[in-house]
Structure 1
Amino acid sequence: MTSPIAHNIDARALGKVAVLLGGYSAERPVSLMSGTGVLDALKSVGVDAHAFDPAEQPLQALKDQAFDRAFIALHGRGGEDGTLQGALEWLGVPYTGSGVTASGVAMDKTMTKRLWANEGLPTPQYLALTRAELTRERIRTIPDELGLPVVVKPPHEGSSIGITKAAGYSDMQAAVELALGFDDELLFEQCIEGPELTCAVLGEGDGAMALPVIEIRAEAGNYDFANKYETDTTQYLFGSLPATLEVEIRDLVLKAYRLLGCRGWGRADLMLRQSDMKPFLLEMNTSPGMTSHSLVPKAAKAIGIDYPQLCLWLLAQARLDRK
């Protein structure tokens, strides 16, 4: 696979750059790790880059301090959900990644699934229920509709925050209470048994390119927050799938990415059903992690793109939705 990025980018021509990190979402600790990595990488290739935490200073300071563009290394609400993108549009500061609409839709896992399902793209069966609907009686009926295990998610969070795989009826109430700590509407998803996969995309529209698929093997099959960010035991495998299946998954991810209107970069998470090797889309991340454990840098490295090159290319793609 040939690298899709240009290697002759003039770092100085990109101007004064704000690396947006931290923020106020539940994913703040991950964002601080991502942002620090991006900041160091951009500085290493000559970019005039500076850390900027929206939780510590108002966004208007981006304009007041004459920043020319922003690299968004924020995750979750207030950074990945379209609200920040809208503010940057208003301020006129070009930014990395997807625009307002694509960011807002992709951050809502339920809405994303509705769009994919409507277009015939495979995604696990699901139910979306509000806090008011989640009576004890209703919770007990969910496994009857989706089967067990049931994956319980707060649909507006990432990094596996608030997610539980409920193995039985007795686990459902605790799973719901945990997820309701992060969201007022919950997503209940049919559990697809099999390998967990992820596939990153760079670019936009017809020019977008899917990077190699990564199979994730975590301890006890549980790719939770700890196994994502706090341990080194999780395995990330390239080339573990048959070549034809690899192509099928990359094509599926590109369709999912384009359907949402994503640009710049993104990463789709999927499950591969063991019984028939059918892939199912779970979600699209429009501001993927950029920590030492993160998956987009791993996929880019697999085709010869090092971390600073990746960060520089993403920064060079920064733009506004408006003309």
Structure 2
Amino acid sequence: MIDVYLLFGGPSSEHDIALRSALNISKNLNKEKYNLNLVYINKEGCFSKAFAFEETNDEFSLVKEINYSKAESIGNFIDEIKSLDPKNTVIIPAIHGTYGEDGTIQGFLDVLGFPYVGNGLLSSAICMDKVTSNDIFYKNGFLQAKYLYTYKEGFDEKFIERCENEIGFPLIVKPSANGSSVGVNKVENKDQLVKAINEALKYDDKALVEELIVGQEIEIAVIGEKNNILATKPAAYLTNHIFLDYDAKYFDKQTIEELPYKMDPKDEEKAREFAKECYKACGCSGFARVDIFYSKDRKLYINEINTFPGFTPSSFFARLAMLSYDKDFSYVLDQIIEDGLRRFNDK
């Protein structure tokens, strides 16, 4: 039986989404194949002691009180796993956004020498920082929105003028490294731009300013690595919002899901191949969700790559993977665990 340690929560704005992902993983992991141990990470980054999953539908019941310092709690986790066989153990870092998708937890697990599912340190860090991934897309000649960025120290009138002259309104402003569309705003004039950049800089030390691409955002699940990559059919949220912001994703009841998203078959095939190329360019492995803009003139623009997308019952990644495999979520989890162990043993 394989020992699985499910790390979840974390100090990011997507903490609660990680709880939902952890609950869905726990309910669907094959108990005959895996010995599941859960480790909750609170918003301060402290690790709980490992605990067994008890059947529940309440993700907040997975939250544990932690009465140790961060260093002591992490030491407890190391003591917990130090005697385990890495060849028969795998970590699932169900931590979205900061700490989980930026390479932090991956680097920690690399140092410990234990296999884990999903992307490694470098690809996680690249995709988390939207400026860095945009630079890579640009170097590879991928179509994307025009963009500029600024640090707080370089944010001045000259930068505002560059945004206006080199890109032009309307614009999208976002933190370079943050998740779930938090701190993202559409702006139509200089005053709004200044305000939006200041807000974005609350979440990250770098603000990204992009051209507004008018079109439908589509999401494609990509699984595998190198030349053995599966790209699923696309899915999309249909919304009246100008762009898919946090409110449109999670609160607007008029937002409609379309899975799979209906598009011209030739364009769909191009989108799936495009998703693969973007995934490979960023060095991704394991799995990710690639978000693409499909414009009214049928062009494809890369938006971003999420290296540990939501694993909740409503998340597109899980449902697209199930659709492609024509299997249940338990089977999808088997595939990504087998992939994580294989990549570790191939090192």
What is the TM-score with the length of structure 1 in the denominator? 0.89
Range 163-172 or range 98-107, more displaced: 163-172
1:49–1:77 distance in 2 versus 1, CA, 3 Å: same
Q: SS in structure 2 opposite 1:65?
A: helix
> Whole-Å Cα distance in 1 between the matches of residues 237 and 96 of structure 2?
21
Which residue pairs with 1:255 in the alignment?
277
Residue 19 of structure 1 pairs with residue 6 of structure 2: yes
> Whole-Å Cα distance in 1 between the matches of residues 138 and 158 of structure 2?
28
1:267 aligned to 251, 269, 289, which one? 289
- The answer to whether the Cα contact below 8 Å between 1:38 and 1:290 also exists between their aligned partners in 2 is yes
Considering Cα pairs closer than 8 Å and 6+ residues apart, tell me whether 1 or 2 has the greater RCO. Answer: 1
Which residue pairs with 1:105 in the alignment?
126
1:261–1:277 distance in 2 versus 1, CA, 3 Å: same
Which residue pairs with 2:60 in the alignment?
none
- The answer to whether the Cα contact below 8 Å between 1:74 and 1:80 also exists between their aligned partners in 2 is yes
Which residue pairs with 1:29 in the alignment?
16
**C-alpha displacement at 1:248, in angstroms?**
0.5
> Whole-Å Cα distance in 2 between the matches of residues 301 and 147 of structure 1?
41
Residue 63 of structure 1 pairs with residue 96 of structure 2: no
Structure 1 residue runs without a partner (length 5+): 1-11
Residue 176 of structure 1 pairs with residue 190 of structure 2: no
Which residue pairs with 2:55 in the alignment?
none
Which residue pairs with 2:51 in the alignment?
none
**C-alpha displacement at 1:307, in angstroms?**
1.9
Q: SS in structure 2 opposite 1:89?
A: helix
Which residue pairs with 2:104 in the alignment?
83
**C-alpha displacement at 1:62, in angstroms?**
3.8
> Whole-Å Cα distance in 2 between the matches of residues 321 and 286 of structure 1?
21
Which residue pairs with 1:9 in the alignment?
none
> Whole-Å Cα distance in 2 between the matches of residues 62 and 321 of structure 1?
23
- The answer to whether the Cα contact below 8 Å between 2:172 and 2:187 also exists between their aligned partners in 1 is yes
**C-alpha displacement at 1:312, in angstroms?**
2.5
Residue 314 of structure 1 pairs with residue 336 of structure 2: yes
Deviation per CA, 1:98-156, whole angstroms, max 9, x where unpaired? 11111111111111111111111111110011111112553354233212211101011
Q: How does 1:128-207 map to 2 (within 5 A)?
A: 128-136=149-157, 138-139=159-160, 141-207=162-228
> Whole-Å Cα distance in 1 between the matches of residues 245 and 151 of structure 2?
24
> Whole-Å Cα distance in 2 between the matches of residues 262 and 180 of structure 1?
27
Which residue pairs with 2:143 in the alignment?
122
Range 281-290 or range 235-244, more displaced: 235-244
RMSD: 2.0
Which residue pairs with 2:58 in the alignment?
none
> Whole-Å Cα distance in 1 between the matches of residues 252 and 278 of structure 2?
30
Opposite residue 127 of structure 2, the aligned amino acid is A
> Whole-Å Cα distance in 2 between the matches of residues 100 and 25 of structure 1?
18
Range 72-81 or range 165-174, more displaced: 165-174
> Whole-Å Cα distance in 2 between the matches of residues 45 and 148 of structure 1?
56
Q: SS in structure 2 opposite 1:198?
A: strand
- The answer to whether the Cα contact below 8 Å between 1:140 and 1:172 also exists between their aligned partners in 2 is no
> Whole-Å Cα distance in 2 between the matches of residues 39 and 321 of structure 1?
25
Residues paired across the two proteins, number: 309
Q: SS in structure 2 opposite 1:252?
A: helix
> Whole-Å Cα distance in 1 between the matches of residues 273 and 171 of structure 2?
28
1:239–1:30 distance in 2 versus 1, CA, 3 Å: closer
2:311 aligned to 290, 294, 309, which one? 290
1:321–1:97 distance in 2 versus 1, CA, 3 Å: farther
Opposite residue 90 of structure 1, the aligned amino acid is V
> Whole-Å Cα distance in 2 between the matches of residues 230 and 310 of structure 1?
28
> Whole-Å Cα distance in 1 between the matches of residues 137 and 175 of structure 2?
19
Structure 2 residue runs without a partner (length 5+): 48-72
- The answer to whether the Cα contact below 8 Å between 1:153 and 1:188 also exists between their aligned partners in 2 is yes
- Quick one: percent identity of the two aligned structures? 28
**C-alpha displacement at 1:302, in angstroms?**
2.4
- The answer to whether the Cα contact below 8 Å between 1:130 and 1:186 also exists between their aligned partners in 2 is yes
